[in-house]
Amino acid sequence: MLTTVATVLAVLIGVGIIGVGVRLLCAPAEAATGFGIPDTPTADPALRSWLAVKAVRDVVSGLLLLVIILVGTPHVLAWFLLVATGLPVGDALIVLGCNGSRAVGFGVHGVTAAIMLFVSLCLLMA
């Protein structure tokens, strides 16, 4: 049962990460604001290019997670999630280091990291 619940949570994480990436590609100004760094100059073509890089990273990360769910074992999924937890931790540190929103830094990125850590530990214990 624990494996099933953790796997469903992992699917939701994967779909969510893909959604974040797609939103960043389609609506970069809104997505950049939602990321938590204030006054991001999204009209700058160079910055829009970097936002697109982040968007692709997010979409591919989510797709990789879904592929591992489909073809991997719970332990492989657990280790992947454990390593991938570094992504939202890094995002939180970036937001907080740029004087961004503490609510987003901790409440979005930090909570995402905590959930990913929890799911990976549940799968490792299964």
pLDDT tens digits, one per residue of 50-93: 889 999 999 999 999 999 999 999 999 999 999 999 999 999 99
Q: In sequence order, which residues have a C-beta less than 8 Å from that of residue 88 and are 6 or more positions away?
A: 109, 110, 112, 113, 116
Instruction: Supply the range of the domain harboring residue 100.
Output: 2-125
pLDDT at 67: 97
3-state secondary structure of 9: helix
Q: Is the pLDDT reported for residue 100 higher than 80?
A: yes
Question: What DSSP element (H or E) covers 27?
Answer: none
Domain count, the chain: 1
Indicate the DSSP class of residue 31.
H
Q: Is the pLDDT reported for residue 38 higher than 80?
A: no
**What's the mean pLDDT when you consider all of the chain?**
93
Question: Residues of the chain with pLDDT > 70: what percent?
Answer: 100
- 85 phi/psi in degrees, rounded to 5: -60, -25
